[in-house]
Structures are given as structure tokens and as C-alpha cells.
Structure 1
Amino acid sequence: MTKTEHAGAKNGGGFWGYREEAKSLSRKARRLQSRAHVVSGVREYWRDSAQPSDEGATDHAQTTQE
């Protein structure tokens, strides 16, 4: 990822091109990385919540028949 987010002006640095091109590539890479992070977090949440836990587990079949 090309680092362009900073307080000062872009006077040289690691990218040999126009500033707008560097910013565009940087934004796309940052958003793609952020999206991947969110998706992995959602997968982790559903994986953890899909596993049955023993804490406070009730048998709903017995409670509805009573």
C-alpha cells in the first residue's frame, strides 16, 4: 500500500507518479483490506455463535410441553 495519508505535502517519497494516482490506489487498497477485515470478523462471530454452549442451555422441547 502506498502511504499518502499524512499532514504534510507530498514532496517526494516512495511513489514515482502523480499524487492523485497514489491516493486512488491507496484508497482502493485500504477499503479492500478493511472489507476483508470486516468479513473475517463476521465469519468468526457466526462460527463462534453456531457452536452450542453448555452455559444456560435449556431443552426447549420439555419447556413447551409442560
Structure 2
Amino acid sequence: MPNASIYWHLPLLLILVSLVYSAVRSDDWNTILRGTLRWALYMLLMFMAPVFLILWFFSEIAPRWW
């Protein structure tokens, strides 16, 4: 993937969005940090990983078939 350097901002953005999302739901710092970790892992595993795999498949594997 030649332009992969633009994706280095995604983990930071994911953590910040997770932190804000968790802070909206609670006022306790322990709950906020636990919620941030839980939400970030969920988004990483259930959203970003499949999107990455699909994009990787179409950029690396699929062109060999056609």
C-alpha cells in the first residue's frame, strides 16, 4: 500500500473518539478509562481490522487473479 502513511493517524483518532464517547457516559475517571479501552478495542477489532483486510485484499491479492 503506497500511501499507508496517512493511516498512522487512525489509532490516535480512535483513542480520542473513544475517550470522548466514554466521558460523555460517565464522570468517574476509572470508568472513563475502562470504557475508552473497551470501546477502542471493539472498534479496532470489529471495524478497522475488517476494513483493512478488505482493502489489503483488493490491493494485493485480487489484482493477481485478474
TM-score with structure 1 setting the length = 0.47
TM-score with structure 2 setting the length = 0.47
Q: Which of structures 1 and 2 has the bigger CA Rg? A: 1
